[in-house]
Amino acid sequence: MSAFNAIGEEREIDRDEFTPGIEPQPTWCPGCGDFGVLKALKQALPEVGRTPEETLLVTGIGCSGKLNSYLDSYGFHTIHGRSLPVARAAKLANPGLEVIAAGGDGDGYGIGGNHFMHTARENHDMTYIVFNNEIFGLTKGQTSPTSPKGHKSKTQPSGSAKDPIRPLSLSLTSGASYIARTAAVNPNQAKGILKEAMEHDGFAHVDFLTQCPTWNKDAKQYVPYIDVQESDDYDFDVHDRGEAQDMMYETENVLKEGTVLTGRFYVDEDRPSYQQEKQAIGEMPEEPLAERYFDDDYEWERSYDLLDRHR
Amino acid sequence: MADNELIWRIAGGSGDGIDSTSQNFAKALMRSGLNVFTHRHYPSRIRGGHTYVEIRASDEVVDSRGDGYNFLLALGDSFARNPKENAYYGNEEIKPLSENLDDLREGGIIIYDSGLLDASEIPDFEERAEENDWHVFGIDLRSMAREHGREVMRNTAGVGVTAALLEMDLDEIENLMENAMPEKILEPNLTILHDAYDMINEEYEFEHDLRIPTGEHDEDQVLISGSNGVAYGALDEGCRFIAGYPMTPWTDVFTIMSQHLPKFGGISEQVEDEIAAAALALGASHAGVKAMSGSSGGGFALMSEPLGLAEMSETPIVLVEAMRAGPSTGLPTKPEQGDLEHILYTSQGDSCRVVFAPGTPQEAYEQTRTAFQMAYDYQIPAIVVIDQKLSGENQNVPASAFDREPNPSLGPTLTEAELEDAPHDPSGKFKRFSHDDPEDDGVRPRSLPGQKGGRFLVTGNEHNESGHIEEDPDNRITQMDLRMKKLESIREHLDSDPESSNQTYFGPDEAEYGIVTWGSSQGAVREAVERLNDQGHSVKAIGVSDLMPFAEKEVTEFLESVDEALVVEMNATAQFRGLTQRELGQFGEKLTSLLKYDGNPFEPAEIVEGFEIQIAGGTDAPSANTRLEPAVSD
């Protein structure tokens, strides 16, 4: 008898179930790439066989954080940069949940960079979507960690002196076991990648290019992108760490010149997820912890049994 | 001061095995029927430096370190030796023998390791010993230990010498060593214990009066630290998830939980920083597991963010704040009660949290349990405040105090069956933050992710009934008022049963003067009150634990019943006195503060002295490292 009957429910799922209904209407600007993430998620979730009630969407702050207002599921809209630690723990507490974390590039690669690095290192079984528009949108167009060098904004009036962060390379080095880049302007690829990311056992990181027509009018997401899996110019093995590393490095370099490469960059299906590792050393129960609180027959251990060492 | 007490101080360098030796010796004393209290003093380093542990043992109740000490075992510092004759680190030239003399009582005993320490190097040592009637035994413990093959066994030799001089029998000490030591090192340790014991009995005449007191417990006792109390309270409340990051002195609680949780079928996570730690606790709690985190002052500063999110999202969590002296890195291994305002008010917006400050290891257990109940019953973050003193000091507690039923209740959490009748909005979302307040206490029951029919959104933004971001002023007022109402409900709940009050009272029911304190300074205050009343004063005291919601009723009644009061706390800015005046809006002219912030906890004698100065008009300067802060009107 489960206390969480939405988990593992087998039925036909209609993508409209993920639309919240009458309210709220999205407040994203017309032409915003965030609509692309929303649409791709609504398409991918039913294909993975996940219902709104077994999905926990954990978001950060910014335009991306509004995602769980517009995608109907269980949702936790957290604080700036902190979606990953909240999401990680929810997954450990109830591994049956489909846990998705989402945030912007400032949220994920800036303020949340430390959590990004360690969540990837630990290889938690979850999907992380970073809305990468190379800008801080909701605070009105400041330079972000992914903004190109020389980017001018009100907080960088002479143009940024910094090289942008390398999100794919950082992800690989940190230990993510599925790394892809997709774009809002490529809905089919986006849906496919999100589906794979959710099905992947381990930390799946999707750098999702979302154009910002309001603050980043010259953003590269408008230019035609190249799908590295579809193109004959790029021949590399996504399972080979070394080749993936070189491909990512090149992808991050050519982005500066305006060439947008997307697709799967690294897939490691052999690496156990954190949950498996933790169970292997006996530090995580086989049964979901969250179920225990609804089990009237469960024998709760007591501290009284620990007192011998204090006598 | 108990009439017949031993306060044994074992001093040396970090790494000399002082902790383990003293832990065993304290247990042996407890087993022999005595009440025991330990106090740890250590530097922020792994090797060398000056460290000591005091064990106070008496047939009477002891819940402070006492005043001074009467038995010194100076092991010297085997790790601070440097081949370069003149090299020293910090205050290394101060030998454990000299640093420890100021507080040694008249007629006290000194054993020092003559293999490492040369008493003739200590200025005026001979004169002082004579003047104070100290009984000095210079014994080459180092050579003794070397003979048996391991120099670190100097500590065991020291215990043997101690036992002989106090005319203690060795049975309990041997039993404990057998339990604690692996076979390989047990044998030489037992041999050296006996050799040292026999040598003293054979070669020395005793002229000192100090002997081991005799006592008897009327029930089974356990030796428990404040950190044990917190951890065991959490386990018994069904806490099965902890996330943390190492920081002294919080690490003690974290370590104990990490050792036991896997065996209890729970999860312990050491994570990248304290922001993550508290955020993980939030995530686990949101998914339906009783969860906690914690840190010390610096790490707790990082937790401001998730703490505020817990308040706004009404997610239950329990945080521990184990205070140490600040600001910034401060004195990492020394106690202080300087984080009070930090704990009460950190994070943006109006504070909506529960804060308890237990005063003893047993209270740490009880109030941690209560903190979990408040957190989960009222969907609010609860903070248990301890400090370096309470976390590391050990005290004997009746085992029966822990003989209580587990409480795995998650509070007002709906089952799927209950969700069917719960309020939903037209889109099918569960109104988790409904404007209706079913129990009229501010709490709206929650659902958990993965439940059928319980879908809702939770956010750190202001939100409407189903959790969507909402900036409407009327909704804002309703949601704010409901959240703040929980504090009133909790206060009512806590006041409803005076028997289970978290506040502790000492002294007679009626008294002219009062002493007010909070948290871990309680033990020294209790003892000071006893002493003052024995000396003919009329004094009673209250140890306050409920800091938010503040124990308004109890503190008001207490302060109304006395002419004036001394507020005792370990910080420089009288934070608790400020809180009292702010919460009560009166009594300012009655409250004189006695403050201490030198990194050491109060001794009862310092409180006695402060009290006497205060009632004599408050013009003299205290001789101790304390400061009197005169009353200011409200």
Q: Does A66 touch chain B (CB under 8 A)?
A: yes
Across chain A, mean pLDDT equals 95
Say how far apart CA B624 and CA B609 lie, in whole Å.
8
What integer pLDDT is reported at residue B121 of this predicted model?
83
Which stretches of B353-454 are assigned E, i.e. beta strand?
354-356, 381-387, 394-398
Q: What is the pLDDT at residue B83?
A: 46
Q: Using a CB-CB distance cutoff of 8 angstroms, which residues of chain A are in contact with residue B228?
A: 310
**Cα distance between residue B25 and residue B193, in whole Å:** 12
* pLDDT exceeds cutoff 80 at B541: yes
Å between B388 CA and nearest CA of chain A? 20
Q: Whole-angstrom Cα distance, residue B353 to residue B484?
A: 9
Best B30, B32, B271 member to test A by mutation, with max A CBs in 10 Å, is: B271
Nearest neighbour of B450 by CB, restricted to A88, A92, A97: A97
pLDDT-derived band at B150 (thresholds 50, 70, 90) equals confident
**A229: closest CA of chain B, how far (Å):** 35
In this prediction the pTM is 0.96
pLDDT given at position A203: 98
Q: Cβ of B275 and A74 within 8 Å?
A: no
| CA–CA distance, A240 with B154 (Å, rounded to integer) | 58
Summarised one tens digit per residue, pLDDT across range A139-180 is: 999 999 999 999 999 999 999 999 999 999 999 999 999 999
Q: How far is B157 from chain A (nearest CA, A)?
A: 24
CA distances from B164 to B54, B151, B534 (A): 19, 21, 34
- CA-closest candidate to residue A80, choices A107, A53, A100, A101: A107
- Please name the member of A76, A114, A289 whose beta carbon is closest to the beta carbon of B241: A289
The phi, psi pair for B388, rounded to 5°, reads -60, -35
* Mean pLDDT to the nearest integer, A120-126: 98
Chain B: give the shortest CA distance to residue A67, in Å: 11
Listed in order, strand segments (DSSP E) in B519-569 are 539-544, 546-548, 564-569
CB contact under 8 A, A96 and B449: no
The residue of chain A with its CA nearest to that of B461 is: A77
Interface list for A 279-308 with B (CB within 8 A): 282-285, 289-290, 292-294, 298, 300-304, 306-307
Percent of chain A with pLDDT over 90: 93
Nearest to B448 among A87, A290, A307 (CB): A290
Are B332 and B44 a contacting pair, CB within 8 Å? Answer: yes
Q: What is the mean pLDDT of residues B420-445?
A: 95
Compute the nearest-CA separation of B408 from chain A (Å). Answer: 6
CA–CA gap between residue A60 and residue B459 (Å, rounded): 10
**Per-residue confidence band for A21, with pLDDT thresholds at 50, 70 and 90:** confident
Chain B positions in Cβ-Cβ contact with residue A311 (cut-off 8 Å): 27, 31, 220-223, 399
Query: What does each C-alpha distance from A300 to A94, A230, B224, B372, B408 come to in angstroms?
Result: 18, 55, 22, 16, 8
Contact status, residue A86 vs residue A97, Cβ threshold 8 Å: no
Residues of chain B contacting residue A114, judged by C-beta atoms under 8 Å apart: 272-273, 276
Q: Per residue in B544-582, pLDDT tens?
A: 999 999 999 999 999 999 999 999 999 999 999 999 999
pLDDT of A191 > 70? The answer is yes
> In this predicted structure, what is the pLDDT of residue A22?
65
Q: B103-114, pLDDT tens digit by residue?
A: 999 999 999 999
| Residue pLDDT, tens place only, B282-299 | 999 999 999 999 999 999
Distance from CA of B445 to the nearest CA of A (A): 15
pLDDT in tens, B77-101: 655 554 454 444 444 455 678 778 8
Handedness of CA B425, B430, B436, B442 (dihedral sign): negative
Q: What is the mean pLDDT of chain B?
A: 94
CA atoms within 13 A on the CB side of A172: 23
Percent of chain A with pLDDT strictly greater than 70 = 97
Nearest neighbour of B403 by CB, restricted to A78, A88, A304: A304
Q: Is the pLDDT of residue A125 over 90?
A: yes
Q: What pLDDT, on the 0 to 100 scale, is given for residue B354? A: 98
Query: What pLDDT is stored for residue B87 in this prediction?
Result: 44
Q: Which of A54-63, A269-278, B41-50, B491-500 shows the lowest mean pLDDT across its residues?
A: B41-50
pLDDT in tens, B333-370: 999 999 999 999 999 999 999 999 999 999 999 999 99
Provide the pLDDT for residue B618: 84
pLDDT at residue B48, as a whole number = 67
Residues in a beta bridge with A266: A179
